[in-house]
Amino acid sequence: MNWSWLLFAEVLYVILVVLVCMRVIYDTRSTTKTLAYLLLIIFLPVIGMFTYFSFGINYRRRKLYTKKLLMNEAMERSLHERIQSGSMEAFTRNSAVVDNNDRLFHYLLKEGSPLTGHNNVELLINGEQKFPKVLELLRAATHHIHLEYYIYENDETGNAIADLLIEKARQGVEVRFIYDDFGSHSIRRMLVKRLRRSGVNAFPFHKIIFIAFANRLNYRNHRKIIIVDGHTAFVGGINISNKYVNDAAFNNKLYWRDTHLMIQGPGVYYLQYLFLADWNFCAGDRLTVNEQFFPPPAALLQKEDKLVQTAASGPDSDNPTILYTILRAIGLAKKELLITTPYFIPGESIMEALIVAAYSGIRIRILVPGISDSLLVNTAANSYYATLLAAGVEVYRYKKGFVHAKTLVSDRNLAMVGTANMDHRSFDLNFEVNAVVYDMGIAEQLARAFERDLLDAERIDAAEWLQRPLYIRLFEKTCRLLSPLL
């Protein structure tokens, strides 16, 4: 009798494994990711199945965010009527600037992101430049302040901004704050409660509860956005934390190198749309397009005429827009690509695009961390370098500290700064946003910053890299097998 039950349990177990494997094959788009999950489920069935159901279900298909999508679409239709018609006018007026990247412009336009002109764009290096500007603009706010952050720390920097938010709320300014419940876990108990008591509307983007812990932990809001009165926005890689400020007063052990943008003008529109769509989802609100949130274009025009588009994607988008934007930018480059990323797990499509571009004579320089906050990710990233080096790509490892910037410069006429790393998580799992600036001045500034960073970096020598011990390369490639899951 006991043997019968054991046999029944074994048969049931095999059927369960087969069914889960069929689910993985049917539901997972990436071949490498599919194979990784299948191997994990077959060789470590219990752990593998838990990992897949926790982290692997394709919620872009499953429409976890169906309600959010419906709200986004309604707001987008209204926004489209107000500003979409201006995109072609901006393109025609500045065709000489956009011409080299017109296919990228048309792609993002099709994804709903308008091309906006008459913007002022300022490059901000590290927290030392970002936070003084942020505090200055927050103090000047008269109608609303919108913040959306992956990491917000309960430290001196976080509390300085929180104190100002509270002050502005008491003055009658509408303050709305979205935080990621995982990334900003340190503020949940005390700081968020203090903000709410003082009139600041604060909500987690997707509250982590035990039953749905793993999936909600996996799908994170990685965006860093501030919008002031609908006319100024901040976007980039810098979260709100002391560690982003290289000031002796904070006694940080590690130098933190990061990049942010301040945008003033109609380029703020799409970032505002993203914030309001996210806000309506997490707060259960019904904020709509109006002149307080979206001032008339005539009221926003700046003296400078920098062209800005926004690439945004997440589990609520039909396409991995940021991945496609980067692929399009690589494909359009004619002479040079400068890429900075803290996490380099590029996947097949990015790798192939870089290799083809390098073999086509384009000089490609990639800056990655020499010192990382993730040993596993850094080790997996190492496994990609040999192939790139063989194609002529120059890879540099930053030695001064941790480089956390996410930037791309193409031919010194296109600049991209945002929140997305060059990895699977940013392309397919997280909510991310990148600003795309068609401007030779900003591109040149970002290129000069890149070249300054190279002074604190070490170029990987291809011959020496290939001569490393076999056990190191084997370990790196073993970690690479897990890269679709990182």
Phi, psi of 417, rounded to the nearest 5 degrees: -135, 130
- Reading the block at residue 167, the tokens are 């002050």
Distance of alpha carbon 276 from alpha carbon 286, whole angstroms:
9
49-55 contact pairs (CB < 8 A, 24+):
49/16, 49/17, 49/20, 51/485, 52/20, 52/24, 53/214, 54/214, 54/215, 54/217, 54/218, 55/214, 55/215, 55/218, 55/485
Q: Is 285 a catalytic residue?
A: no
Which stretches of 24-163 are assigned E, i.e. beta strand?
116-125, 144-149
Active-site annotation holder among 144, 146, 168, 224: 224
- Of the candidates 403, 141, 130, the residue with the CA atom closest to the CA atom of residue 261: 130
Q: Is 118 a catalytic residue?
A: no
Active-site annotation holder among 278, 411, 423, 428: 411
Q: Is there a contact between 190 and 112 (Cβ–Cβ < 8 Å)?
A: no
- Of the candidates 380, 363, 355, 371, the residue with the CA atom closest to the CA atom of residue 478: 380
Residue 121 corresponds to which amino acid? Answer: V
Q: Is 305 a catalytic residue?
A: no
Cα 394 to chain centroid, rounded: 24
Burial class (CB in 10 A: 0-12, 13-18, 19+), 375: exposed
Q: Is 224 a catalytic residue?
A: yes
- Of the candidates 476, 325, 336, 324, the residue with the CA atom closest to the CA atom of residue 410: 336
Distance of alpha carbon 208 from alpha carbon 204, whole angstroms:
9
- Of the candidates 429, 339, 326, 346, the residue with the CA atom closest to the CA atom of residue 108: 326
Q: Is 373 a catalytic residue?
A: no
Instruction: Report the largest interatomic distance among the alpha carbons of the chain, rounded to a whole angstrom.
Output: 86
Phi, psi of 314, rounded to the nearest 5 degrees: 175, -175
Q: Is there a contact between 263 and 435 (Cβ–Cβ < 8 Å)?
A: yes
Q: Is there a contact between 134 and 234 (Cβ–Cβ < 8 Å)?
A: yes
- Of the candidates 379, 337, 330, 486, the residue with the CA atom closest to the CA atom of residue 423: 486
Active-site annotation holder among 181, 229, 258, 423: 229
Q: Is 406 a catalytic residue?
A: yes
Active-site annotation holder among 404, 423, 428, 439: 404
Q: Is 188 helix (H, G, I), strand (E, B) or coil?
A: coil
Residue 242 corresponds to which amino acid? Answer: N
Active-site annotation holder among 130, 206, 406, 424: 406
**Three-state secondary structure of 350-379:** HHHHHHHHHHCCCEEEEEEECCCCCHHHHH
Active-site annotation holder among 33, 222, 231, 306: 222
Catalytic machinery residues = 222, 224, 229, 404, 406, 411
